[in-house]
Structure 1
Amino acid sequence: MTTAPIRTVDGVELPAAGPWKIDPGHAEVGFVGRHFMLTKVRGRFTGVEATLVIGERPEDSKVTAVIDVASVDSGDATRDEHLRSADLFDVEKYPKAVFASTSVTWDGRRGTLVGDLTIKDVTRPVTLAVDYLGYARDPWGNDRTVFSAHGKVNREDWGLTWNMVLESGGILVSKEIELSLEFEAIRES
């Protein structure tokens, strides 16, 4: 490569403009819901493919991601099978979820990423707060950039409406889901 893997924009070190491929071995798309509206239940999708194109202006950056919904892992095989069932993700009919960014705002090492998330053929906007964590060159000579993102969604917006009313009032599974993304991207030549 003829250009450096990092650059300075408005006095802040950021990754170089161009294409970066998310390393699936160092990426996590996680979620947290509440059980009985009290206990946090964590899960993640292990099958994620994504590309990040960093713009000359950080605001011109784009992200696309495809998630293998059947790769859901919450640490409990019975719960995972229920998540994959027609009650929730219906992976037989809808095996993939897709995210495509629509806008980026950026200030220093932080930004806001807005995009369309499609689950079960339903597309809704999602807003994520993003932090740029830094750059590293791995032992094999690959340039890597690291980001973290988080946000909240209402799962019912995508037709994920299965629930049970509790005898004491309330519902079994929270509607609000916290999203947490951690990923490394490798610079493409």
Structure 2
Amino acid sequence: MSATEQITTVPAGTWQHDPVHSSISFAVQHNTVMTFSGQFGEWEARLEDGRLTGSADVSSVRVEDENLVGHLQTPDFFDAEQHPKLQFASTSIERDGDRITIAGDLTIKGTTKEVALTGTVSDPVTDGYGNERVGLDVQTVIGRHDFGVSWNADLPAGGSILADDVTVTARLALTQQ
């Protein structure tokens, strides 16, 4: 491939996420002055035949304050008992060099909405152990109320404890199967 040739497709074949080198996280403005973030410990992602799919186990949510984990699993937030998984399935993937846009359906708490993940993608490389790998680093901003995640409280000086916009980030190291 020449230095000016652009790759406009995602790698062919089946690629599975490497849990050691990958993460799915979320971040939301909290108390109007800081960012609250968390991630999921149990999840999967797969790129197969140009389609990205994934899911996360809601009961595996991790945050700095363990006292909040239980609240995040209630109907106020993820409702883990009724909706144990978050799910994503791409409907299209567009690539321009190292930039990528992945449109797809995101399901949280039983509600499915179309989202667009944007970010970067690497070309396949052979790692130090002989495995073929590709990297994706993408994110989207969703409105949590659109997915029925509506808990909030007012602050004494005005405003709300939690913003509506939540940034969801997927940093994926995918290994060819």
TM-score by structure 2 length? 0.91
Q: Distance in 2 between matches of 1:16 and 1:127?
A: 19
Count residues in correspondence. Answer: 175
Return the match for 2:141 from 144, 149, 152. Answer: 152
Q: Within 5 A, what are the aligned runs for 1:1-189?
A: 11-12=5-6, 16-54=11-49, 61-188=50-177
Alignment deviations for residues 9-49 of structure 1 (CA, whole Å, 9 cap, x no partner)? x8136764111111222221111111112111111112111
Q: Is the 8 A contact 1:130 1:149 kept in 2?
A: yes
Q: Is the 8 A contact 1:15 1:135 kept in 2?
A: no
Q: Distance in 1 between matches of 2:47 and 2:18?
A: 11
Identity of aligned residues (%): 33
Q: Is the 8 A contact 2:6 2:96 kept in 1?
A: no
Q: Distance in 1 between matches of 2:96 and 2:129?
A: 32
SS of structure 2 residue aligned to 1:160: coil
Structure 2 letter corresponding to 1:48? W
Alignment deviations for residues 44-88 of structure 1 (CA, whole Å, 9 cap, x no partner)? 11211111025xxxxxx2100011111111111011221112211
Q: 116-125 or 18-27: which moved more?
A: 18-27
Unaligned runs of 5+ in 2: none
Structure 1 letter corresponding to 2:34? T
Q: Distance in 2 between matches of 1:136 and 1:177?
A: 32
Q: 1:175 to 1:120 in 2, by over 3 A?
A: same
Q: Distance in 1 between matches of 2:158 and 2:24?
A: 31
SS of structure 2 residue aligned to 1:42: strand
Q: Is the 8 A contact 1:134 1:147 kept in 2?
A: no
TM-score by structure 1 length? 0.85
Q: Is the 8 A contact 1:35 1:174 kept in 2?
A: yes
Q: Distance in 2 between matches of 1:11 and 1:141?
A: 26
Q: 1:154 to 1:99 in 2, by over 3 A?
A: same
Q: Distance in 2 between matches of 1:64 and 1:103?
A: 11
Q: Distance in 1 between matches of 2:28 and 2:110?
A: 22
SS of structure 2 residue aligned to 1:12: coil
Unaligned runs of 5+ in 1: 1-6, 55-60
| Misfit runs of 4+, over 4 Å | none
